[in-house]
Amino acid sequence: ELKVEQNPLFLSMQEGKNYTIYCNYSTTSDRLYWYRQDPGKSLESLFVLLSNGAVKQEGRLMASLDTKARLSTLHITAAVHDLSATYFCAYTGTASKLTFGTGTRLQVTL
């Protein structure tokens, strides 16, 4: 069974701190996606990582991909309250469908 595991499932962090969310997936894939979801809202695309060693950055978020380890990370630098949301990683294998992780609920506190 194809699986995507994220950890932690819940993260409470103070503003200004750094942290990393981990995403392990169970199949060979060179396409890894990160999405953000605010409560009651739909999913917003953050990053698409297309090859081993890919690194992308947008503001305080940076995502990386290690296809050999089947691991992607989402690093948060100097968190701010606006980053509070649930973050999902997902991959596509040979099919085009996205297989999502369970999500990491991030809460940034003052």
The footprint of other proteins (CB under 8 A) covers 4, 31, 33, 35, 41-45, 48, 50, 88, 90, 92, 95-103
Distance of alpha carbon 109 from alpha carbon 106, whole angstroms = 10
Nearer to other proteins, 5 or 15 (CB): 5
Smaller CB separation from other proteins, 49 or 79: 49
Alpha carbon 85 to chain centroid distance?
A: 11
Minimum separation from the CB atom of position 16 to other proteins (A): 28
Burial of 89 (0-12, 13-18, 19+ CB in 10 A): buried
Q: Which is nearer to other proteins, 14 or 52 (CB)?
A: 52
